[in-house]
Amino acid sequence: MNITVFGTGYVGLVTGACLAEVGNEVVCVDVDESRIAGLNAGEIPIYEPGLASLIERNREMNRLSFSVNAKHAVEHGLFQFVAVGTPQGEDGAADLSQVLQVADTIGRHMESYRIVVNKSTVPVGSADRVRSLIQQLLKEREVLCEFDVVSNPEFLKEGAAINDFMKPDRIVVGTENPRTTELLRQLYAPFNRNRDRLMVMDPRSAELTKYAANAMLATKISFMNEMANLADQVGADIEKVRQGIGSDSRIGYSFIYPGAGFGGSCFPKDLAALANTARASGCPSRILDAVKAVNHLQKQRLYSMINQHFAGDLKSRTIALWGLSFKPNTRDMRDAPSRMLMEALWEEGCQVQAYDPAAMPEARRIYGERSDLLLADTAEAALKDADALVIVTEWRVFQAPDFGRIKAELKQPLIFDGRNLFDPAALKARGFRYYAIGRGETALP
């Protein structure tokens, strides 16, 4: 099939590359000429395992191309995927300006039947707004042609997006048109072979499904963080609690790992947008507000532990920090716990020596050159003469370190673990002072 994807960000590139991989002819279009020029030169603007090779292979096979020619893009694809950003506004609402700009483009150039597929995360009712805008433009142009607008939200995890698209848990399709349903079933057939993953519903339900899914996952994380903080107070071990409740099939093990708080481009933004929708609908959600509040406090947890350990005497101390991205296998630092921690440490006059396997260029872009930030070449280099090691992101490379090397490089054997990577008893036996999240008594040498 011929497919057009508007937007060459995270969702657009993954969607375009994966659809091309199964044989479709895909054109990805963007208004950013420099971005398109870079993509045509083989430069991938995001970090996602496996994406660069996927794009390169399909470009070589002439199944995937990148363009700024919107008119050609509308002419090319039966399916017009909308995969542009919906950034958070000052009031928490999703900004639909880019989505509506794409709808305007489609409405001004469409000459024959098209299916507009909204992949962007949008508030309930957005499909209706897109449909109305396109209808209005077709009427002004005196063009008579049929089209449909579908909500088809993405459920891609950063760091595992290729696998999530190729082997989805579900494919949510929001349309009430049987013909459109059948065409989308054909489109997604290569990803829907061993069982039927297609879930067809009305567009508004599909739009709410995306927000509700992310809100539920964020709620699980914040709940476990509150339980971890309680465990610290009562002398329990949250790791044992996690295993105890995760064994209940009604709860499960996913997203019940306590830590330093969640970040990224989805959970914080989607929580705010859903809370805004709830308030605007006269049904404010106290649960969503509480999840946001708990997460904000949890992001301060590591700093509070460090400050308490040093009795407020942080000036001129050096802190080694492992992990800058909000999660492993991405370089995304949007709303990352590392940012709040570093900025709090700098306020107190600390020097930060940081290392991340992927996010170093992003840290340089955000913070530039500053005397109180050293971006180390290796995890070990970040340790040198530091007063403590703080683990903020659970990259696999951090999970079995050389503890002898850590002890030798630090001024004192002191670790603050924001992701509960290690066994407190084992660290105690090695002579470390070890602080974790919800592991009960601090491990003392």
pLDDT-derived band of residue 442, with 50, 70 and 90 as boundaries?
A: low
Q: Specify the pLDDT at position 89.
A: 85
User: Do you know the residue count of the chain?
Assistant: 445
Instruction: Say whether pTM exceeds 0.85.
Output: yes
Percent of the chain with pLDDT over 70: 99
What is the C-alpha separation between 145 and 352, in angstroms, rounded?
60
Q: Specify the pLDDT at position 265.
A: 86
Q: Which residues are catalytic?
A: 266
CA distances from 219 to 155, 267, 327, 387 (A): 17, 10, 17, 34
Percent of the chain with pLDDT over 90: 96
* Crossing angle of helices 203-234 and 126-141, rounded to 10°: 150
Q: Specify the pLDDT at position 282.
A: 95
Which residue, among 136, 109, 131, has the nearest Cα to 118 in the 3D structure?
A: 131
Tens-digit pLDDT profile for residues 117-163: 999 999 999 999 999 999 999 999 999 999 999 999 999 999 999 99
Sign of the torsion formed by the C-alpha atoms of 220, 163, 269 and 172: negative
With beta carbons less than 8 A apart as the criterion, state whether 357 and 366 touch: no
* Residue 271, φ and ψ in degrees, nearest 5: -60, -45
Mean pLDDT of 105-125: 96
Q: 402 pLDDT exceeds 90?
A: yes
* Residue 64, φ and ψ in degrees, nearest 5: -135, 125
Q: Specify the pLDDT at position 360.
A: 97
Which residue, among 164, 157, 186, 160, has the nearest Cα to 173 in the 3D structure?
A: 186
Q: Specify the pLDDT at position 58.
A: 97
Which residue, among 423, 383, 394, 399, has the nearest Cα to 259 in the 3D structure?
A: 394
